[in-house]
Amino acid sequence: MKLTEAKKSSENGCNDVDISDRAPSVVLRSLHSAYITKYLSRKTTFEYVSSEYLRMSGIFWCVGAMDLMDKREWITRDELVTVVLGCQKQSGGISAAPGHDAHVLYTLSAVQIAVIFDFVELLDVDGIVAFLKERQNEDGSFGGDRYNEIDTRFTFCVLAALYLLNRLDTVNIPKAVEHVLKCQNIDGGFGTRPGSESHAGQIFCCLGTLAITGQLELVDPTKTAEWLAQRQCDSGGLNGRPDKLPDVCYSWWVMASLAILGKLDWINRENMKRYITACQDQESGGFADRPGDEPDPFHTLFGLAGLSLLECEDLEPVDAVFCMTKRVLGDKSLC
């Protein structure tokens, strides 16, 4: 049994977890870098093979986590160039892995990897831009791929990738913004589509889109920040919607959203740090969604990025819109 094993409880009518006194409270950097290196080198594990459908994002989570710890020599640029170029499709878009279809999720991850390892000039940028432009619908919304499922996540992916490639002018920005504003609810939050329930991940995507397009003044920051601040549970962890359990990735979606609004001090930092550090696996390294659960690269990136927003323990400063270090973004950093 793991020392950090958490007991799920629903005291005070609120789903939450208990944090053991023996849970880690400092950042276990060397364990995390060993965890990431091992994760990407053991390509026959069930965990690795079964996540092929999201591989490009998986690689971004690993590369991003290492960059936050200022570790750059653990993987070669050549290896990443081969992986990314091997996933560009005829449509210009990039897929999760060879043999899969292109999608805006993996296209953004590929662009982020190329920015971190400085090989954007090796990409077929015109092809990527054509694929992203093609995803916009007449009402300003974006589909994720040729099947055109609509989601504000995809709006963020397209605009973030175009911004990083200096090609934001390719799509209809006023229409994109109009669509995002239609996805805002009366509670101040945003959903996947007009009328969908508020969700912290979607709020991040919509505020990120408004930050990229310079239109943040179109939202009332107080109302949205109130909804976000109410995500903090007694354990210190943040959930993504009312009555859900806290999850370390929401440390990112919620805190980054608050940071974009300039209201990061609306959460209790001490309790937040306690929750995130308790989600570390002190045997294998890596972060899990909740204390005692299995770690994975996704929660490892967002755990470290959350701690960076809290300015903990020499982690590289992170940009709240792109979840990339300010160091690699340079003058492209927005927040």
Measured from the CB of residue 1, what is the shortest distance to ligand FPP in angstroms?
26
**Distances from the Cα of 240 to the Cαs of 40, 131, 189, in angstroms?**
28, 31, 11
Q: Which residue is nearest to ligand FPP (CB)?
A: 201
What are the φ/ψ torsions at residue 204 (nearest 5 degrees)? -55, -50
Non-local (6+) Cβ contacts of 140 within 8 A are: 172, 174, 175, 176, 177, 178, 179, 180
Question: Per CB under 6 A, does 188 bind ligand FPP?
Answer: no
Question: Per CB under 5 A, does 319 bind Zn ion?
Answer: no
Residue 253's binding partner, choosing from ligand FPP, Zn ion, none, with beta-carbon cut-off 5 to 8 A by kind? Answer: ligand FPP
Question: Per CB under 5 A, does 247 bind Zn ion?
Answer: yes
Spatial CA neighbour of 17 closest among 186, 216, 250, 188: 250
| Separation of alpha carbons 158 and 142, rounded Å | 8
Measured from the CB of residue 3, what is the shortest distance to ligand FPP in angstroms?
26
Measured from the CB of residue 201, what is the shortest distance to ligand FPP in angstroms?
2
DSSP letter string, 177-233: HHHHHHTB-TTS-B-SSTTPPP-HHHHHHHHHHHHHTT-GGGS-HHHHHHHHHTTB-
Measured from the CB of residue 152, what is the shortest distance to Zn ion in angstroms?
18
User: Residue 321: CA atoms inside 13 Å, Cβ hemisphere, count?
Assistant: 26
* Residue in 289, 293, 296, 319 binding Zn ion, rule: CB under 5 A: 289
Question: Per CB under 6 A, does 261 bind ligand FPP?
Answer: no
Residue 202's binding partner, choosing from Zn ion, ligand FPP, none, with beta-carbon cut-off 5 to 8 A by kind? Answer: ligand FPP
* Residue in 171, 248, 323, 328 binding ligand FPP, rule: CB under 6 A: 323
Question: Per CB under 6 A, does 116 bind ligand FPP?
Answer: no
Residue 153's binding partner, choosing from Zn ion, ligand FPP, none, with beta-carbon cut-off 5 to 8 A by kind? Answer: ligand FPP
Contact residues for ligand FPP (CB under 6 A)? 105, 153, 156-157, 201-202, 204-205, 240, 253, 323
